[in-house]
Amino acid sequence: MLYELGCATLLTSPATTADYLRAALAEPGLDSAERVNAVFRLSQALLHNNQLEEAVRTVEAELGRRGIGPARMRLQAVRYMLEAIHASEGLSPEHSRELATLAATCTGRDNSERALLILRGFDAMARGENVEEVVELLDRSLVNGRLAPGLGWTDTEWGIEVLLMLANAYAYADRLDRAESLYTEALRTYESAGWTGGHLALAHGYVGLGHRMRGRLREAEASLRKALVLAEEIGRGLPLYWTSTCNLVDTLLARGHVDEAWAIAEQYDFGPPYPSTIVLPDPRSVRGRLLLAVGRTEEAVNELEAAEKAAASRGHHNTVLAPWGGDLARALANEDPRRAAELAASVRVRAERFGTDTAIGEALRVEAFLATGKQAAALYAKAVTFLAASPSGYEHAAARVEHGIASRSVVELNKGLMLAESCGADGLADKAREALAGLT
């Protein structure tokens, strides 16, 4: 009965769920399969209640009770998942090596192996490894291009976390069509099934992330505001609440609504201390960008340097997932141009290692910002080429406007203006209009 009560409350009340499941596990009577399910669901509830360290300890304790077999592989995958999203501690290189070794043995024959392939793909994406290898790992976790039976959005054996890691890894690997398909499927599934609480909040939040990355900023803002309302009903400061807040601030900055972004950050406590789970994109980077936008440059530099240290401790070198490098280079352009140039060069190297059009295009925009004259115009032209081939509509629009300004091109500025208006990037559109007025 305690186990069933825990299953019923799950992400509508993570704290209540954890209490029921702890009590169930303390009682005799759960068979082997039910016990593993209870441990998994308890780890889920603790994760979403910002008690990630306890979640890890719970899974490790159960692993110690298990011999070789499917139950142990499932629990191993859960442990790797929890470690991968634990923001409070650095990941040792051994974590990635162990995960890579284990995933190399997986053919995708069952859902434990498919989960491990997803986890390895997400880890490789976050570390900025070659994008083609990332996508190959993710694709191997699917069955005929779709989620495997038993690994769906309402299936309870694996839950929502692994599937979101799959969708997010696709998103940051520039396979945004696949990511958006998964985000939309999640939302439709939960709405059709009548699920509420954390599941619906996360679904709306990640649909919003998909819109933001595609450059549909108005739609992103609407989805993220809806997600934040749902998340706040469950509790402030929980991981799903941070996801909605971070992405809403990022979207409002892209729209050029700086005062509104600052108001949201103040209203919803978007700042340190940060949650125990990772948030996509990196919240320190987004807060640093916000501080730059409101003119608090010294604080911005401190925040972005903290983002640099946190990313380095976890080996997260994906320059789109953790975009601190580009903003820190811009912040230091006048005060310390040498360091700014070194940062820009490092961003370019990491972006080219990863290999997505978005990452490379954004790195070129940073280098162009630091350059002058014909060199700046040439670098912005290259950025336009890469970003036009990417799914990143807002970044493409920004590069067009910047190229138009650097090259004093009315044609390019008009293209940028049209793109900015279609994205809902009001600030960028105003910048393009101002530049056009100065050329006529």
- Give the mean model confidence (pLDDT) for residues 387-411: 98
The pLDDT of residue 318 is 97
pTM over 0.85: yes
The pLDDT of residue 427 is 98
User: Which of 121-130, 139-148, 232-241, 305-314 has the least mean pLDDT?
Assistant: 232-241
The pLDDT of residue 9 is 52
The pLDDT of residue 4 is 54
The pLDDT of residue 382 is 98
The pLDDT of residue 54 is 80
Per-residue 3-state assignment (H helix, E strand, C coil) for the chain: CHHHHHHHHHHHCHHHHHHHHHHHHHCCCCCHHHHHHHHHHHHHHHHHCCCHHHHHHHHHHHHCCCCCCHHHHHHHHHHHHHHHCECCCCCCHHHHHHHHHHHHCCCCCCHHHHHHHHHHHHHHHHHCCCHHHHHHHHHHCCECCECCCCCCCCCCCCHHHHHHHHHHHHHHCCCHHHHHHHHHHHHHHHHHHCCCHHHHHHHHHHHHHHHHHHCCHHHHHHHHHHHHHHHHHHCCCCHHHHHHHHHHHHHHHHHCCHHHHHHHHHHCCCCCCCCCECCCCCHHHHHHHHHHHCCCHHHHHHHHHHHHHHHHHHCCCCCCCCCHHHHHHHHCCCCCHHHHHHHHHHHHHHHHHHCCHHHHHHHHHHHHHHCCHHHHHHHHHHHHHHHHCCCCHHHHHHHHHHHHHHHCCHHHHHHHHHHHHHHCCHHHHHHHHHHHHHHC
The pLDDT of residue 289 is 98
Judged against a pLDDT cut of 70, whether residue 145 lies above it is answered with: yes
Mean residue pLDDT of the chain comes to: 90
